[in-house]
Amino acid sequence: MLWQALTAIRDLGRLHDIASILVRYGFGDMVRRIGLANALERAGRALHWSNAEEFAHLPPPARVRRALEEMGPTFVKLGQVLATRVDLLESEWIAEFGKLQDSAPAAPYAEICQQLTEDLGAPPEEIFTVFDPVPLAAASIAQVHRARLADSSEVVVKVRRPGIRPIIEADLRWLSRLAELAEMESPELRSFHPQEVVRQFAQSLRRELDFAGECRNAERIAENFAGYTDKDESIAEAVLEVSSALPIIIIPRVYWAWTCERVCVQEFIDGISGRKLAAVDQAGLDRKILARRGARAVLKMIVEDGVFHADPHPGNVFYLLGNRIAFIDFGMIGRLTDERRDQLIQLLLGLVRHEPMRVADVMLDWTGDAAVDEDGLILEIQTFVDQYHGVALKQLSLGAMLSDLVAILRQHQLTLPADLTMLIKAFISLEGMGRELDPDFDMASEAMPLLEQALRKRYMPASLLKRGRWAVGEALALIADLPRDLSRLLRAARRGRLEIHIDITHLRRFGNQLDSAANRLVIGIVVAALIIGSSIVMTVPGGPSLLGLPFFGLLGFFGAVIGGIWLMLSIWKSSKADRE
């Protein structure tokens, strides 16, 4: 509500900054429609509308991306999260938001040193034998310094920017209010479910602020890769120079003695950034092997482990001698339940094997309880899958196929759960990175053996026995509780307290409309009574007066005017809602 937003005086300056940036990038009309202009004008903070068209020549995705960059770290992160929402946004928006770079000037070392001293219990110079005050990298939320421990271990120290949490919490409060206003005032924005997007984003960002949680994620994924070897003999023979004792997939070690919410200390990875492909060639690494190993590692996380790196872009990957791969930055990870993994396996197999009904069944399960034209959706999915019939496996692009499937859902105004959007985005990023390394990279061929193996594993006797034991246990628990439940039911019936609740959405809506109509009728009667009573009072001499007229008569007329205005506004809003 607007009046609730106006009560947040402490964040009003931040709101003015946000609205001014939106106006400057040509979104002044949106600022007006969601009520921000009125809020700021009432608070005495006028917007400078004269610059509203300064960047109007840019396409809308570019304008939004630049506005997000200017609004600060919270909004940059929001854009990066929106880049994963392939179910909500068109490809040009996804591509533009993918350009958002989370970089910022380094914080003064004095501030960093003070915070490190508070968190570590001593100045960094006493904890580390070497600590470089110049950061390796600086982002909007944290910056990274290189250091060395007393045992000569090379480490990186990731430090959260001092004072960043209050700024982010203020931004999140306003984002929540803006999403609420946008959903109420803008029908075209309502279809994007802004409140749900902001809620999921706030959860993700708060988790990202907790570096200890990020390190726990890293350790869990490291455990899943313990003892991992490449099962492709052709690849193994190509790297005979590498000792079998060296791990193929590397996750940086965490030093928990100096890790907490605001600081994490991890092993330094001395490798080649995934962005520097020329350096990969100069080091003599094999791009084809790197592409295949990276794909298999991420597919293992998704299909076998159910915990995966949700942002496997080149900046979070390092290549090492021996064609080994290191993953860093586990602030954003995805999790899949066993049921979701089974659905994913069925979907990908349906796409690769050209089985449209299998794909359609999974997509319908993913849409949940949302209202959908099932026949139309199934027909579109069948048509989409059939167009790839007879296409060779190496010519299929799983990322593009998943994007097209999500576009079909978007056309039906359906959205996917957050875990699935992260998963699809990870697939698209993974395939894109593989193609950068090797133009002939074939994601479908890499995925097929793992998918078939996972499907066979699901129907092996041990897996069937495990699921059967669980189902029998649930059934026995239900049977054991049945006598007690029946006893309670009969006792409630004997006491006349047996209740049956039927929740019918249409009847509830009709009841709300009836209640609203009754309220309006009562207000109308009260207004009419005030007018009649005030008219009578006006004819009675004596009593207090105001401007030469009886005071209580004027008071009654004033109350009637207020009630009449409320009544007209209520009717207008109801009519507007019905039209929408």
pLDDT digits (tens, 9 = 90+) for 395-438: 777 777 777 887 887 777 777 776 677 787 787 778 888 888 88
DSSP, res 50: G
Alpha-carbon distance of 466 to 564, in angstroms, equals 68
pLDDT at 186: 66
Residues sharing a CB contact under 8 Å with residue 573, sequence separation 6 or more, in sequence order:
none
The pLDDT tens digits for 50-98 are 554 556 667 888 888 888 888 877 888 888 777 767 667 777 888 888 7
- Selected catalytic residue, list 311, 440, 442, 578: 311
* Residue 229, in any domain of the structure: yes
Position 38 pLDDT exceeds 60: no
**Mean pLDDT, to the nearest integer, of 154-183?**
86
- Asked if 377 and 417 sit in the same domain, the reply is yes
- Asked if 137 and 258 sit in the same domain, the reply is yes
pLDDT at 240: 43
Dihedral of CA atoms 283, 285, 291, 295 in degrees, nearest 10, equals: -90
Average predicted confidence (pLDDT) for the chain:
78
* Residue 270, in any domain of the structure: yes
Position 9 pLDDT exceeds 70: no
Q: Are 117 and 124 in contact (CB under 8 A)?
A: yes
**Mean pLDDT, to the nearest integer, of 186-203?**
74
pLDDT at 1: 39
- Asked if 289 and 380 sit in the same domain, the reply is no
Position 259 pLDDT exceeds 80: yes
Element (H, E) at 309: strand 307-309
In terms of average pLDDT, the best of 290-304, 494-508, 510-524 is 290-304
Alpha-carbon distance of 424 to 417, in angstroms, equals 11
Position 361 pLDDT exceeds 70: yes
- Asked if 540 and 417 sit in the same domain, the reply is no
pLDDT at 253: 94
* Residue 304: HSE in the Cβ half-sphere, 13 Å Cα cutoff: 16
Position 293 pLDDT exceeds 80: yes
Amino acid at 230: D
- Asked if 243 and 381 sit in the same domain, the reply is no
* Residue 328, in any domain of the structure: yes
In terms of average pLDDT, the best of 99-113, 180-194, 360-374, 488-502 is 99-113
pLDDT at 238: 47
Can you read off the two tokens belonging to residue 50? 């004269």
pLDDT at 414: 73
Alpha-carbon distance of 22 to 565, in angstroms, equals 33
- Asked if 416 and 550 sit in the same domain, the reply is no
pLDDT band at 275 (very low <50, low <70, confident <90, very high): confident
* Residue 371, in any domain of the structure: yes
- Asked if 392 and 454 sit in the same domain, the reply is yes
Element (H, E) at 204: helix 194-208
* Residue 505, in any domain of the structure: no
- Asked if 277 and 394 sit in the same domain, the reply is no
Position 237 pLDDT exceeds 50: no
pLDDT at 331: 81
Three-state DSSP string of 385-448: HHCCCCCCHHHCCHHHHHHHHHHHHHHCCCCCCHHHHHHHHHHHHHHHHHHHHCCCCCHHHHHH
* Residue 264, in any domain of the structure: yes
pLDDT at 428: 78
Which is more confidently placed, 306 or 103? 306
> Which of residues 333, 353, 379 is at a domain's end?
333
DSSP secondary structure letters along 524-580: HHHHHHHHHHHHHHHTS--S-EETTEEHHHHHHHHHHHHHHHHHHHHHHHHHHHHH-
* Residue 347: HSE in the Cβ half-sphere, 13 Å Cα cutoff: 24
pLDDT at 7: 43
Name the β-bridge partners of 143: 138, 159
Q: Are 245 and 139 in contact (CB under 8 A)?
A: no
Which is more confidently placed, 211 or 21? 211
Q: Are 317 and 329 in contact (CB under 8 A)?
A: no
Can you read off the two tokens belonging to residue 335? 């999790």
**Mean pLDDT, to the nearest integer, of 238-256?**
73
> Which of residues 333, 354, 383 is at a domain's end?
333
> Which of residues 461, 477, 496 is at a domain's end?
461
pLDDT at 264: 94
* Total domains present in the chain: 3
Position 35 pLDDT exceeds 70: no
* Residue 288, in any domain of the structure: yes
Position 380 pLDDT exceeds 80: yes
Lowest mean pLDDT among 252-261, 265-274, 283-292, 386-395: 386-395
**Domain residue limits at 514:** 510-579
- Asked if 555 and 531 sit in the same domain, the reply is yes
**Mean pLDDT, to the nearest integer, of 134-160?**
91
Position 315 pLDDT exceeds 70: yes
Position 6 pLDDT exceeds 50: no
The pLDDT tens digits for 211-227 are 999 999 999 999 999 88
In terms of average pLDDT, the best of 157-166, 240-249, 470-479 is 157-166
Q: Are 467 and 417 in contact (CB under 8 A)?
A: no
- Asked if 446 and 328 sit in the same domain, the reply is no
The pLDDT tens digits for 90-104 are 778 888 887 776 667
Alpha-carbon distance of 406 to 334, in angstroms, equals 18
Position 132 pLDDT exceeds 70: yes
* Residue 378, in any domain of the structure: yes
Neighbours of 119 (CB within 10 A): 17
578 is catalytic: no
pLDDT at 5: 43
pLDDT band at 353 (very low <50, low <70, confident <90, very high): confident
Position 452 pLDDT exceeds 50: yes
The pLDDT tens digits for 564-575 are 787 777 776 666
**Mean pLDDT, to the nearest integer, of 514-533?**
74
- Asked if 350 and 442 sit in the same domain, the reply is yes
- Asked if 218 and 299 sit in the same domain, the reply is yes
